[in-house]
Chain A
Amino acid sequence: MFDNLSEKLQRVFKNLRGEGKLTAENMEAALREIRVALLEADVHFRVVKQFIEAVKLQAMGEEVLSALSPTQHVVKIVRDEMIKMLGSHQAKLRFANEPPSAIMIVGLQGSGKTTSTGKLARWLSKNGHQPIMVSVDVYRPAARQQLAVVARDIKLPIYAGTADETKPSELAKSARREAVQTGRDVLLVDTAGRLHIDDQLMTELQELKEQLNPSEILFVADAMTGQDAVKSADEFHKRLGITGVILTKMDGDARGGAALSIRQITGQPLKFVGVGEKFDALEPFHPDRVAQRILGMGDMLSLIEKVEGSIDQKKAEEMQRKLIDNEFTLEDFRDQIKQIRKLGPLESLLGMMPNIGPIKDLKNVKVDENEITRIVAIIDSMTPRERENHMLVNGARRRRIAKGSGTSVQDVNNLLKQYAQARKMMKSLSGMGGMLGKRMGKLKLPGGLGGMFGGM
């Protein structure tokens, strides 16, 4: 649906040969792409602006990590910055010193308050609390009944109210009494949806807050919200001082950029994410997942993390130099293949790539791990001098190597052919950035490494 940001960045950096540094010039186009991606993800115009400034500041003059391509390096900066903005720590719920703690659930019409109230009650009860719910939505038709049905479904108590309790304040008051009498430690108060510009109803919430002295006021926001998110969140926050955000409907394909806007405008943490209509579909907020979602990058980011964790920095740099100087030997070839293997099963590695371009087709390719083992064995059976200079490996030597590695001469021939091809290709790719960039480039080029990955 959306063009993938990393794919776009890849296009931007395609012409960036041999430049190991991010500069104002080579970043300009990248920043433009980032800006568009964020706007398409519904991050507010102003927040995007701040974000771009922050990224620019971070990126200028930075050396590209040699294990990453410029694209991946920029993606990493963007990701890190976004996680920082979203709030690095997953927030916990606060409770009053003296139970029952009141938690108010507020937000616009249809954002998911009632459903989230049910989900939260269930979550609390699974985490050792004894919640009770009350709906003070006296406006929407059948709203209180909706919460009653929810309570029945999740088998948790609700204060249903009496016929003559028609005001939110009355209902809240009785509910608190009920909570005390029945020994419940958390009172969840589901409120009516309202527009932030509805002065009368906003005042009603302020009065409820006064009355309940809640330990949390959670603002429920729909992940599909556009640019207006900042206005409503800002007003709710100004009026009430919200203490956290629940982002709902993240089970769809909305990018959820509103999360970043709301966080930025209110400074309050995201606490939970709604991922479905059922009552167990509530997850604690993970900034990295949401960042990834806003950026629309599949698991490209987890891939980067994996690479960062497993590639030997020094070795990668050395390899890069060798490539440029045309010193890439069979031994390097083996090391590289071993490193690829260190990243984990190749299928899972490919599975992590976003569904883009040629990579998409690769996902169905069965990668032959045996083939890799065979290649490593063959190279291991060579003498150091042979590994230095593949031209030495004549017919007699090939027979010896085949015997030593338990393979056939045909296998050895294949390997040498693959090596020659890889060398040629890497030479042409060199300068495009770090080793991984080349590896990934290689994986993307069908037939790049000969028949090493069966079926490519």
Chain B
Amino acid sequence: MIQTLFGSVPPEPNLLDRLKAGIQKTRTGFVERLEDVIGGKKEIDADLLEELEYTLITADIGVKTATEILESIRQRVDRKLVADAHEIKSLIRQHLLEVLEASERPVPRVLEPPAVVLVVGVNGSGKTTSIGKLASRFKQEGHSVLLCAADTFRAAAIEQLEIWGSRTSTDVIRQQAGSDPSAVLYDALQAAKSRKVDYVIVDTAGRLHTKVNLMAELEKMRRTAVKIIPAAPHEVLLVLDATTGQNGLEQARKFTESSGVTGIILTKLDGTAKGGIVISIARELNLPIRYIGVGEKVEDLLPFDPEQFVASLFE
């Protein structure tokens, strides 16, 4: 079952296949490489461990996490708990799964709509596109949706969201370019209440987490939301590009501090990047991944499930 703000819904029938297809390149890079490494080998030697390190680090898992995984393998080898190289694959699989599962959190239940979903992230990570995809998904789940064009900064950002609005037949609340994002949010939440829609998805301008004034703008948006809907925002989704390296952890940390991130959308997994930084993020910040992006089309957003994700990587 897939958890949503309005309860759980059955997953689409072909989800595992779509997942596999979507992250095919990621898979090719990571697991097949792992298999190559382990290949015909039976013995666990220094070469093998170095190759494993290569595989983990080039997946952007980070030196620290990679070292820990390797260390636990080494210990088990020393204690003769793993005898041959093939067990290593399931060991790594197990480890990744544990980390991802440990950061899972129940999705809050919204009893009184509208549910407000604030979408944040650094520049160009895929926020607006993911919002278009989310709108379509929520609608398919039988809910009404309103989009809020609170990226008033980037050139033609509002128009971009409006095109997604028309693609998914969703209304967009907007103001002039350059206006105060909190003012647009205010309008959108008022509209959502009076129109009794289920979801409001808020697009925000991309911003680097180091820009104090821009991060303060997000805090202001949160305050605005609370004034109109006390429990809002119900979800704050951080959109993270799978090609992001070690900086992703700092992004997650800073956005969580200033805007209370509750989950992650990991985009661009249709490329060759592995998105391994989410493992560090899951470990250090306990942030669950909610969705993954596997393309530029409206249907290319899949709910994230650790078991299935790891399974599709390894099977």
Residues in A lying within 8 Å of B, measured CB to CB: 1, 36, 39-42, 44-45, 108-112, 114, 139-143, 145-150, 153, 195-197, 222, 224-229, 231-232, 249, 251-255, 257-258, 277
Contacts and interface: CB of A to CB of B under 8 A. Distances in A.
Interface in B24-44: 25
Contacts, number: 139
A257 B58 CA distance: 13
A146 B125 CA distance: 17
Kindly list the 3 A-B residue pairs having the minimum CB-CB distance in the complex, ordered from nearest: A226-B245, A110-B124, A42-B245
Nearest to A150: B155
A148 B124 CA distance: 18
17 contacts: A40-B63, A40-B246, A41-B246, A42-B60, A108-B271, A109-B126, A110-B125, A110-B126, A149-B177, A153-B155, A222-B124, A224-B122, A224-B251, A225-B244, A226-B248, A227-B59, A252-B210
Contacts of A40: 62-63, 246
B81 interface: no
A197 B272 contact: yes
A142 B156 contact: yes
B58 A277 contact: no
B181 to A, nearest CB: 15
A226 B122 contact: no
A109 B268 contact: yes
Contacts of B155: 114, 145-147, 149-150, 153
B186 interface: no
Which applies to chain A's interface (DSSP): helix, strand, loop or mixed? loop
A173 to B, nearest CB: 24
Contacts of A153: 155
Contact of B243 (A45, A108, A257): A108
Interface in B233-254: 241, 243-248, 250-251
A40 B124 CA distance: 22
Nearest to A221: B243
A141 B164 contact: yes
B277 interface: yes
A253 B54 contact: no
B273 interface: yes
Interface residues of B, number: 48
A257 B246 CA distance: 10
Given A36-B63, A111-B124, A112-B123, A228 B160 contact: no
A227 B60 contact: yes
Contacts of B62: 40
Contact of B270 (A1, A195, A255): A195
Nearest to B177: A149
A257 B245 contact: yes
Contact of A231 (B63, B177, B248, B272): B272
Contacts of B157: 142, 146
B274 to A, nearest CB: 7
A111 B164 CA distance: 21
A146 B271 contact: no
A225 B245 contact: yes
A197 B124 contact: no
Which of the listed residues A110, A112, A232, A257 has the most CB atoms from chain B within 10 Å of its own CB?
A: A110
Given A42-B247, A146-B154, A141 B163 contact: yes
B146 to A, nearest CB: 18
B141 interface: no
B164 A224 contact: no
B209 interface: yes
A45 B57 contact: yes
A97 to B, nearest CB: 34
A142 B250 contact: no
Given A195-B270, A197-B271, A227-B58, A252 B126 contact: no
